[in-house]
Chains A and B, each alone.
Chain A
Amino acid sequence: MTRRLAEALLRAATRRWPAEYRDELGREWSAELHVLAAQRQRLRMLRYAASLAASRPDGPLAGPRAVRGRAGRTAAALLLAPVAGVGIVLVSAVVMAVVVNGFLATTVSWSTRAQLPLLTVLTAALALLLARFAARWGRRSALAGPLRTALGVMLPVGVTAVLLEYVLNRGTQGLIRAAPGLVSWLTLLTLVLWGASALAGRGRVRAAWWFGVLGALVVADVSVVLTVVNAIPAGPQTVVDGLPQADTVDRISAPLWLFASWTDWSFGLPRPTPWELFLITDLVEVQPYLYLAVSPYALAYAVNAARSAPPADAAPPEGLPA
């Protein structure tokens, strides 16, 4: 696997050199790779190939920079945006803590109740800002086709989300607890992006946005529900020494759980009760905010990438795949 990946990187590296040098360079680099492989130096193999693939040949040997530029910008956007999404949640949490503890706690009685709504507003505002940039990056995307775009957006998001859950939960136990929600979110949002991208590619941009926004909300809601259902029983409550432990969450309010997590509010309805709200928000913690931070970026990128792509029936430019 490592060898194949390194060989793929070498092929990409040779393509960036002028044609007259490619055969010799490819042969030379493959021979060096063979030496590293024989010594079972997998990491060095990857570093060797990745460095060649990432650097630009100098001066008169310079390869096709435009291709590298577009692909490089696409890769940079798709890899960095999920990290920016995590950064958005962190920055919002810090700002929320400063505002609540530094100002509201001493001036109003409802400062505790303001925590989650404030975190949601800050996260949403920064997520929309990221989405604006993502729309611009999407218009210059090197990815072609709705499925490829959806996978290109969601694979780095998935890796980032899994790493985040692993770090936050300090190990695999917490990750396993979060897995049903996370896996369903990643899978279903990929499908939503695929659909939205396909609609935008056919010129139905308004429909793409509606489908994408509603789809992303439903997907996030389903994911929170799956996480809660997987971890908290519906009833009956555990009773210890005659006292009910309030360790259950009634499923009747399930569709509201995502929005209740964002607002710490049950919208005037009898359920979820304040105690159920506590159990839900304590369990899902960062997931609803991660969904809020990343989904606008993902959708904006996918829709704009599809909008700027040439029509499906148009002949592709020479030398490029259809």
Chain B
Amino acid sequence: MRITVPVAKVLAALLADPGAECYGLDLMKVTGLPSGTLYPVLHRLQSAGWLDAHWEAIDPAAEGRPARRYYRLTPEGAVAARRALAELRALTTDGRQSWGGAEPTGAPAW
């Protein structure tokens, strides 16, 4: 998995609460990424097995809206994401960029 800035942002946002389920708009808001950048990243992470996606279990007719798709780090993905971000952090010396709230200190500058 190639860790680009958008990938790192998404991983950091998901690691803020590894058990939580997020949908696309959530992640866009937290990471500041546009939809056109976010969804390709989510699919790369899914293809790598780092991310699991499933449909919301609702009755669309009853709810009056279609079911949304949720994303969550897989256990292996959470481990790999932590390791990848730690390696990134180790490679940098100065932290200035926000990672969507998941990296309060020491975030690398890109």
A-to-B contact residues, CB < 8 Å = 13, 21, 24-25, 27-32, 34-36, 38, 47-49, 51-55, 57-61
Contact with A along B37-68 (1 / 0, CB 8 A): 10111011001000000000000000001111
Give which listed residue, B34, B36, B43, B65, contacts A34 with CB less than 8 A.
B65
A35 touches B36 (CB 8 A): no
A51 touches B35 (CB 8 A): yes
Q: Which residues of A contact B47 (CB under 8 A)?
A: 60-61
Q: Which residues of B contact A21 (CB under 8 A)?
A: 43
Count A-B contacts at CB 8 Å: 61
Q: Which residues of B contact A54 (CB under 8 A)?
A: 36
CA separation between A57 and B28, bound complex, in Å? Answer: 17
Min CB distance, A99 to chain B, in Å? 45
* Known interface pairs A27-B69, A35-B68; 19 further A-B residue pairs with C-beta atoms within 8 A, sorted by A's residue number: A13-B36, A28-B24, A29-B35, A29-B39, A31-B65, A31-B66, A31-B67, A32-B25, A32-B68, A34-B65, A35-B25, A49-B35, A51-B34, A51-B36, A52-B36, A54-B36, A55-B34, A57-B43, A59-B40
Contact with A along B63-87 (1 / 0, CB 8 A): 0011111000000000000000000
A36 touches B68 (CB 8 A): no
Chain A: which residue is nearest B2 at the CB level? A59
CA separation between A36 and B25, bound complex, in Å? Answer: 9
Q: Which residues of B contact A52 (CB under 8 A)?
A: 35-36, 39
**26 A-B contact pairs sorted by A residue (CB < 8 Å):** A21-B43, A24-B69, A25-B39, A27-B66, A28-B24, A29-B39, A30-B66, A31-B66, A31-B69, A32-B25, A32-B68, A34-B65, A34-B66, A47-B35, A48-B28, A48-B35, A49-B35, A51-B34, A53-B36, A55-B40, A58-B40, A58-B43, A59-B40, A59-B44, A61-B43, A61-B47
CA separation between A55 and B66, bound complex, in Å? Answer: 25
B36 touches A32 (CB 8 A): no
The 10 closest A-B pairs by CB, nearest first: A55-B36, A51-B36, A51-B34, A31-B66, A58-B40, A28-B69, A51-B35, A31-B68, A48-B35, A52-B35
Min CB distance, B22 to chain A, in Å? 12
Chain A: which residue is nearest B23 at the CB level? A32
Min CB distance, A57 to chain B, in Å? 5
Q: Which residues of A contact B28 (CB under 8 A)?
A: 48
Min CB distance, B108 to chain A, in Å? 21
